[in-house]
Structure 1
Amino acid sequence: MDTAALAADLPSIKAAPPLPPPPLWTGFYAGLNAGYGFGANSSSTSAVWGVPGPSDYWSTNRETEAPATALGSGGALSGYAPIKQSGFIGGGQIGYNYQYGSSFVIGLETDIQGAGLRGSGRHIGAGAEVQSASNLATGNYIEASSNAWGGATINAGVDWLGTVRGRIGYLVSPTLLIFGTGGLTYGGVYGNVTNYAYVATTSADEDGPAGYGANHTFFGGGSRSQTRVGWNAGGGIEWLFAPNWSVKAEAIYWNLGNATIPTAAYAVAPRPDSDPPWYGNSAFTAIGGTRVNYQGVIARMGLNYHFNWGAPAPVIAQY
């Protein structure tokens, strides 16, 4: 028997095509993260205006009554201060990935972490004011002038921070993912303001400088804590280094917008009579607000465990 001819008559058997790699990334995951938050061009702006005292502040003698005046305190208490809130953060995340083909991964992730983001700033200011009045009955005239110097110290930060983000990534290799991310940011912010102003006043009447004044100091501030909502955007890299385990590094810019802290500063000034000694005291109030901006960049590492519910466990060794 011609074995060669018999072999030629047998049908050829082709090898089966290789199976596509299993979707290593599809499934739920959870993990921990830690890193550092860097402040990014945050700022605070204070705006203050005075509230008048009694209408007869300058004199109990109605013939030389001057108008009520805020005495220039507003300019001294207003200003701009840069603040960058920085510090360590740490918490946890959960999410879901879906691997599309052999190259793309899409998913959703949410995280929350305690934040030690803290920052402070200070501004100084000055103000001046001149006011005058005449008694309509007698025509007597008086003029009051003031110069003020002061400023404010602002402490602000974030106590906790969370995000809800979409993710889309490209697989450089079956186990190495480069991704972009973005979505919603929420967090607990606070701000504390201490402000002060020293005011020096003098007065003059129609007969020339009287030489008396009523110097006084404003002191006060305000504080506020609230939960704010904003946005974020960033990216990173994640490596599936063992079955069900991955490590990631990412940087995310976050912005929670501006929060306004109401402020009030108080002063008590002696009330001069037309002929000293002084006549009692009057209270003055300077009210306003300080607007603080909250934003920064998170740089962090994370460790995830992938549950792969409903999918075969990945076999990293075959690649």
Structure 2
Amino acid sequence: MKKLVLALTAMAALTAPALAADMAPRYAKAPVAVAPAVSWTGCWISGGGGYGISRTDRYSRDGAAPFGTNVIGSTSGSDGWLATAGVGCDYQFSGRWVVGAFVDGTYSDIKGDHAWRVFGPGATFVGENKMDWSWAVGGRIGYLVNPSFLTYFNAGYTQAHTEAYNLRETVAAFGATGLQVPGRTFDGFFVGSGFEYQLDFLPGLFVKSEGRASWYDRGDSSLTCQFAGTQCAGAGVAPFNLANGGNIDSRRLTVYTAKTELVYRFNWGGPVVAKY
């Protein structure tokens, strides 16, 4: 019996390697590849251009006593191109949400003819009003549709400036009147929305498109003389003495802009824990 057990043990030892060789090897399952995520947290600079239109609501009253009895309302429009640049910082949180703060400045050529009714001569004159610059500071909140595409809303404080312009006759000689509308800076607020997405040919480079509406507080302006003094005169009208009273004009400005910018993010490609 003992010899039989020894014989079977020896046979098992000899056949085990052969059986193992016939069995297919087992491999560990490879882990699923995870697409690298990137962070929107960090700072950026931008620059670009666009187009703007403005609406000016005006209410004029006589500057002489009894003041304000001759109220005339009118609305004028302007349009033109703009160039803009900005800087800001963002913070990504809760996976897909981004908040940030920014400041931007705009040089513009938004202009158009605006009519004025001057009470002294009892005539309507016209001049080219131009908004030449504006700036804004605000915040935004956005949602990541995917790791490289952000939609957002923004809002904040803004200022805009309109240049001084001279009035000219609308009939007859079409000449200068000697009357001037002074330049003015308007304070207001804005709201906007847009989207920003990554360009694949350069890390950190994005393109941003945004629409913005700005409403500015009403402000009074009084006509002045183009030259020194209060006795205004020109080819279009007889001398008009502002010392005896002139127009007081209350203006409210609304501006709509659409712009596209290139954005460079300084830290693009940094790690982030968020999963999409």
- Is the structural similarity TM-score above 0.5? yes
- Corresponding residue of 1:22: 37
Q: Distance in 2 between the 1:29 and 1:222 partners? A: 42
Q: Which amino acid aligns with 1:164?
A: V
Instruction: Verify: 1:105 aligned to 2:98, yes or no.
Output: yes
For the residue of structure 1 that corresponds to 2:182, the secondary structure is strand
- Corresponding residue of 1:300: 259
Q: Distance in 1 between the 2:154 and 2:231 partners? A: 51
Provide the alpha-carbon RMSD of the alignment: 3.8
Instruction: Verify: 1:83 aligned to 2:98, yes or no.
Output: no
For the residue of structure 1 that corresponds to 2:106, the secondary structure is strand
- Corresponding residue of 1:237: 195
Q: Structure 2 matches for 1:1-319, cutoff 5 A?
A: 1=16, 21-39=36-54, 41-50=55-64, 75=70, 79-122=72-115, 149-153=122-126, 155-192=128-165, 194=167, 221-242=179-200, 243-263=203-223, 285-308=244-267, 311=270
Q: Distance in 2 between the 1:283 and 1:237 partners? A: 51
Q: Distance in 2 between the 1:49 and 1:92 partners? A: 41
Deviation at 1:112, TM superposition (A): 0.5
User: Does the 8 A contact of 2:39 with 2:92 survive in 1?
Assistant: yes
Q: Which amino acid aligns with 2:59?
A: T
Distance 1:283 1:177, change over 3 A: closer
For the residue of structure 2 that corresponds to 1:178, the secondary structure is strand
Q: Distance in 1 between the 2:204 and 2:269 partners? A: 13
Deviation at 1:111, TM superposition (A): 0.8
Q: Distance in 2 between the 1:166 and 1:283 partners? A: 45
Partner deviation per Cα, 1:135-174 (whole Å, 9 max, x = no partner) = xxxxxxxxxxxxx842343543321111112111111111
**Number of residue-to-residue matches in the alignment:** 231
User: Does the 8 A contact of 2:194 with 2:210 survive in 1?
Assistant: yes
Structure 1 unaligned runs (5+)? Answer: 52-69, 128-147, 197-218, 269-281, 314-318
Deviation at 1:288, TM superposition (A): 3.3
Q: Distance in 1 between the 2:151 and 2:127 partners? A: 40
Q: Distance in 1 between the 2:106 and 2:132 partners? A: 9
Q: Distance in 1 between the 2:116 and 2:247 partners? A: 15
Question: Given the two structures, how large is their TM-score scaled by the length of structure 2?
Answer: 0.69
Distance 1:20 1:310, change over 3 A: closer
For the residue of structure 2 that corresponds to 1:249, the secondary structure is strand
Deviation at 1:246, TM superposition (A): 0.2
Distance 1:252 1:229, change over 3 A: same
Deviation at 1:186, TM superposition (A): 1.6
User: Does the 8 A contact of 2:209 with 2:261 survive in 1?
Assistant: yes
User: Does the 8 A contact of 1:236 with 1:249 survive in 2?
Assistant: yes
For the residue of structure 1 that corresponds to 2:95, the secondary structure is coil
Q: Distance in 2 between the 1:178 and 1:309 partners? A: 17
Distance 1:36 1:102, change over 3 A: same
Partner deviation per Cα, 1:180-201 (whole Å, 9 max, x = no partner) = 11111122223546499xxxxx
Q: Distance in 1 between the 2:92 and 2:40 partners? A: 6
Distance 1:255 1:287, change over 3 A: same
Deviation at 1:101, TM superposition (A): 3.9
Q: Which amino acid aligns with 2:262?
A: L
> Which structure has greater strand proportion?
1
Partner deviation per Cα, 1:65-113 (whole Å, 9 max, x = no partner) = xxxxx9xxx74xx522211232111021111122224311111121112
Q: Distance in 1 between the 2:187 and 2:243 partners? A: 37
Q: Distance in 2 between the 1:253 and 1:80 partners? A: 23
Structure 2 unaligned runs (5+)? Answer: 1-15, 170-176, 233-240
For the residue of structure 1 that corresponds to 2:217, the secondary structure is strand
For the residue of structure 1 that corresponds to 2:163, the secondary structure is strand
| Overall identity of the aligned pairs, in % | 23
Deviation at 1:295, TM superposition (A): 1.5
Question: Given the two structures, how large is their TM-score scaled by the length of structure 1?
Answer: 0.60
